[in-house]
Amino acid sequence: MNKKHRYFWAILGAISVALFLLTLWGIAAVAQMARELPDPADFSNRSVAQSTKIFDRTGEVLLFEIHGDQKRTVIPFDKIPDYAKQATLAIEDQRFYEHQAISWPSLVRAALVNLLEGGFVQGGSTITQQVAKNAFLTPEKTLSRKIKELILAYWIEKRYSKDEILHLYLNQVPYGSNAYGIEAASRTYFAKPGADLSLAESALLAAMLKAPSYYSPWGTHTAELLNRKNYILEQMRDLGFIDKQQYQTARDEKLTFTPPGTGTILAPHFVMFVRDYLTQKYGEDLVSRGGLRVVTTLDVKLQEIADRVVKEGAARNTELYNGRNAALVAADPKTGQVLAMVGSKDYSAKPEPAGCTPGSCQFEGNFNVATQGERQPGSSIKPFAYIAAFKKGYTPDTVLFDLPTEFSKISTCPLTGINYFDPNPQCFHPQNFDNIFRGPVNLRHSLAQSINIPSVKTLYLAGLSNTLALARDFGITTLTDPSRYGLSLVLGGGEVKLFDLVSAYSVLSQEGIRHTPATILRVEDAEGNVLEEFVDFQTQVIEPQYARLINDILSDVEARAPLFSGSLNLTVFPDRDVALKTGTTNDYRDAWAMGYTPSLTVGVWAGNNNNLSMQKRAGSILAAIPIWSAFLKEALPVYPEESFARPDPTPSPKPVLNGTYIVDGQAHSILYHLDKDNPLGPAPQNPSADPQFPNWETPISLWAQSASGRQSIEETIRSWSAPLAAPSSSTPL
């Protein structure tokens, strides 16, 4: 044997010895694990799941306990409906009666997925393995725990029959909301004994097993739960457990859930929002069984006020305007911490009107309008266009003309003053909420009084892309399709979430600094180890001057007085600097009130979940402001009296930016004097090159000619307003 061959055999021998030793070590390690495992015959010594507790910001008031005291009633195997057993097998372990504790194809498939994902994503566990895990092991995802689970599963299969194992499983598996075992689940969600479960109810309970918190019928994912229920019914049909007729009947059955018990959960919409966050970050097992201690940002006193004023306000709106729902979010703008959240007038109430189906209801209690609802914001989106304009060089004194204006560039749309109410939907000639046109008005008063035509012009001057980018920087996440909005954006043409809008207005409160919204102060595991703590993430979104300009306008009671008229007192708080912006969508579907001080931001939405219009022109002043005002009157006294910093003066070298709108004895649109994208630069050589120039210039010429330049502004505006009795497009407030 030559030297080369001897070297090869030496290497091979070394590898063989190493593999042999590694195998011995593995066998010894597994044997040691097996010696440390409990006897499956003794279920009394199994590890007990610990509940996750969610507290308010003091850490003393318990808001909710996820799988707290385990509600469990063991019932005989023959009392569990066959439907429930079959539904569970169909989704959890279809080959349960065929394999011996372990499903090797599932295990290999899960191992491959975990390898590709770089972590424990799938478990591939059989029902027997789940019994072993739930009864004796912790929810941690490690290789050693998986090996222990396999050993215990093998022992359990040796000691118990398949029916006994399934019986153990159905009596101990968690179904969420403290319900362990199918009897507790049946009574918790359907208020009936487990023996009386229908096929559809059995399939729904089986659908919850994968993630009881996520698929809770009381949470925000009921659509996904029902889809999963239907998938299980399909599997049962395909496996021959039920026939086609049973499948169709169960699929069509309308399920009614027992509402969560009163007094068992405080701030339910907030708690469910926090629970979803925890589940996504830490996993269903750890949240359900790991004994986490969660201290949130919620202020219980503010939450109590919010719950009450929303409920009272929604009741009032229902009676007066057929507006059946409302929502409120309050936040600390200095930290981004959410202090109160009410997603609907009553979390546990039945949908309205009676018999409505999801998506068609005017009110659904567990739907969180604040975080889930994407609603048109009306004029509450306007400040972001004005900020974008100020950044370009426009000033609060800049004058725009509030006159009938056709903004569409389509040649078939009528010129202003000629067949103004053209029905062509491609034309865009918005009106003001009161059907009055005011003539020349500066940006300060057009924003404070929410006048539409100057606001649309402001958006054009600011630029749609600039305004959308600014809104994103402020934390608005839903305005992602510029092609849908156009100039209608400033009248609420997109959709936003109340939660995002409160965060965005908080940026104004803090002079351009955005604090990332937060609902968690601290999370600890069962041993007291801190898993996460609140960190204040700050970003300077805009320079302070621009936020100060908006704050100065929105807190100017005198400037907004003409808009609110007899309701002005609801917006005034003695010795307090309070900024306010309202919003109402077309046909009075959504009413908004967004207000803030240097210490508190509060947003209110009122309307119907299904977009049904409120009656009697119930806009923001009638439907949202009373709720917002009632909350602030009780909440503000605990905060110090603070004032907004005043902006620096904004003089401009150009007269038209300082409030002048008649130059050399003539009135022209601002596009005659300025390049909209460079207002501080040279005057345009050819103003008509701007596509909006003729649209803006024509009504001003007609306005100036209406009295040969002698008629008073009041008379001129009256002459313009007289024929406007049936507006084609109006976005109030």
Written as six digits, the tokens of 7 are: 């070297």
What is the average per-residue pLDDT within 243-260?
A: 92
- Which DSSP letter does residue 43 get? G
Residue 667 CA to residue 656 CA, distance in Å, equals 11
pLDDT digit string (tens) for 574-626?
999 999 999 999 889 999 999 999 999 999 999 999 999 999 889 999 999 99
Are 132 and 43 within 8 A, CB to CB? Answer: no
pLDDT at 717 > cutoff 50: no
688 band by pLDDT with thresholds 50, 70 and 90: very high
Longest dimension (CA), the chain: 120
Q: Could you tell me the pLDDT band of residue 18, with boundaries at 50, 70 and 90? A: low
Domain 45-293: give its CATH code: 1.10.3810.10
The answer to whether the CB of 182 falls within 8 A of the CB of 195 is: no
**215-224, 351-360, 532-541, range with greatest mean pLDDT:** 532-541
Report CA 704 to chain centroid distance, whole Å: 49
- Joined together, the tokens standing for residue 478 give 């839903």
pLDDT tens-digit profile of 533-576?
Answer: 999 999 999 999 999 999 999 999 999 999 998 899 999 999 99
Q: Of 235, 195, 217, 208, whose CA–CA distance to 86 is shortest?
A: 235
Q: Which of 19-23, 71-75, 415-419, 459-463 has the highest mean pLDDT?
A: 459-463
pLDDT cut 70: percent of the chain above it = 81
Q: Most confidently modeled of 20-29, 66-75, 194-203, 354-363? A: 194-203
Q: What is the mean pLDDT of the chain?
A: 85
Task: Indicate the domain borders of the chain.
Answer: 45-293
Q: Name the residue type at position 361.
A: C
pLDDT of 9 over the 90 cut: no
Pick 244 or 725 by higher pLDDT. 244
Question: Average pLDDT for residues 462-473, to the nearest whole number?
Answer: 97
pLDDT score for 149: 72
Dihedral over Cα of 609, 611, 615, 619: its sign: positive
Q: Report the pLDDT value the prediction gives residue 26, as an integer from 0 to 100.
A: 46
Residue 433 — very low, low, confident or very high, per pLDDT cuts 50/70/90?
A: confident
User: Does the pLDDT of residue 723 top 50, yes or no?
Assistant: no
Measured in whole angstroms, the distance separating CA 26 from the mean position of its chain's CA atoms is 49
When mean pLDDT is compared across 82-96, 295-309, 389-403, 431-445, the lowest value belongs to 431-445
Quick one: pLDDT at residue 324?
96
Residue 715 has pLDDT above 80, yes or no: no
Q: What is the dihedral of CA 306, 312, 313, 315, to 10 degrees?
A: 140
- Mean pLDDT, to the nearest integer, of 447-470? 96
The Cα 309–Cα 630 span in angstroms is: 6
Q: Is the predicted pLDDT of residue 519 greater than 90, yes or no? A: yes
Measured over the CA atoms of residue 158, residue 163, residue 166 and residue 170, the dihedral's sign is: negative
Q: What pLDDT, on the 0 to 100 scale, is given for residue 261?
A: 60
- pLDDT tens sequence across 621-658: 999 999 999 999 999 999 999 999 999 998 888 999 99
- List beta partners, residue 50: 290
Q: How confident is the model at residue 262 (pLDDT cuts 50, 70, 90)?
A: very low
CA distance 285 to 66: 11
pLDDT at residue 119 greater than cutoff 60: no
Q: Is the confidence at residue 251, as pLDDT, over 70?
A: yes
Q: Is the dihedral of CA 92, 98, 102, 103 positive or negative?
A: negative
pLDDT of residue 176: 86
Per-residue pLDDT averaged across 366-372, rounded? Answer: 95
Tell whether the model's pLDDT for residue 277 goes beyond 90.
Answer: yes
Q: pTM to 2 decimals?
A: 0.76
Structure tokens at 14: 């070394």
